[in-house]
Chains A and B, each alone.
Chain A
């Protein structure tokens, strides 16, 4: 029977500790924001920071506090936005975005001003007289954007990045990675796009690249809904106004405008 005494001692101490803890947790319970926990559960948990907060936890807290809109989660997309809106009990206007690279130049149409053999990175090449291309606005093509993409949505094809519409969640990491600032987030519903960012006009632009906007304003004249405007010598489309009629594409002699 000797053995029962130590068993009792440990058992009793454990029991006292257990009861004490459960009583304490009941008495000193802190009300947890249920909404916040639900929101956190609805988020994908990638912690990518596309929403602008430190991570999914930070975003959940901000949404629960009403400081952030429920549609800021890029990886979660429409699905997460709808779930969050349901938890909050509000309607959400869904506007998924996708990365777009505003340059169609490649090794064939864009001329080189020198042969670059340094570090294979756009940022590094850009330091050498704004890159090896004659067009100082265009894509250098070493794929800094592809390396920045956490979802593998950007692939290099013939030395030019290509965004996969199915994979891209519109987090915007690539927009910061491009030393030329060519990448922007456009609505997934965008119909037409301008594939050039050259802010010069006329003959020099033609000499630099075969696919380039020379700011001739033909598209501006062709557009019936006033959606396309030439700003800083580059055509810019207002995706909210664009009907996708394709008249600008027909008008453009430089092959810059295309369906998204």
Chain B
């Protein structure tokens, strides 16, 4: 398998088969919290993609150059530290140079600090023993997969707004049921790609 098909396979797997939200159940908090409107869901997803790729680009070298092989047990704490710092740095840079993007992302950018999908993807890259470039594409794919899930679900939720829902199912109950059904649909991708 040449490198191009390998990368395509990684992307496909990350977006569909191993979808962060709908197959691995990581990042459920923003998935339920920020998916009420398609606009905000999109903003949040863009921020997540950005942070995932940058976080992978920083954590992969740290793991392989500093932590491996002796101090791999520091992985979690070091990654959390690094991701938190990166998110803040990105926030500062955006605020200074690309104000419209900063305004569009708003509160969602700092929220990503505690998004387990970001920590999840950096750790999965290590666990799956991916190379540096492969890791970057895996992170990109995971981010795009997150965006796909967010956009799909926000579409569902916008329709729920106008649907005639029984009183006891309104709000979170119907949202959780809808999330389960959307997740179920992604079961169909199991086994494809990698």
Contacts and interface: CB of A to CB of B under 8 A. Distances in A.
A30 B85 contact: no
A21 B93 CA distance: 10
B78 A17 contact: no
A14 interface: yes
Interface residues of B, number: 20
A interface secondary structure, majority: helix
Interface in A43-77: none
B95 interface: yes
Contacts of A18: 85
A29 B67 CA distance: 33
Interface in B41-94: 62, 66-67, 70-71, 73-74, 77-78, 81-82, 84-85, 88-89, 92-93
A61 to B, nearest CB: 12
Contacts of A14: 81
Contact of A21 (B74, B78, B89, B95): B89
Contacts of A6: 71, 73-74
B78 A13 contact: yes
Interface residues of A, number: 15
Given A28-B95, A30-B95, A9 B89 contact: no
Contacts, number: 43
B96 interface: yes
B78 A30 contact: no
B66 A30 contact: no
B66 A9 contact: yes
Contacts of B73: 6
Contacts of B95: 28, 30
Given A5-B71, A9-B71, A28 B81 contact: no
Given A9-B66, A10-B81, A17-B82, A24 B93 contact: yes
Interface of A: 5-6, 9-10, 13-14, 17-18, 20-21, 24-25, 28-30
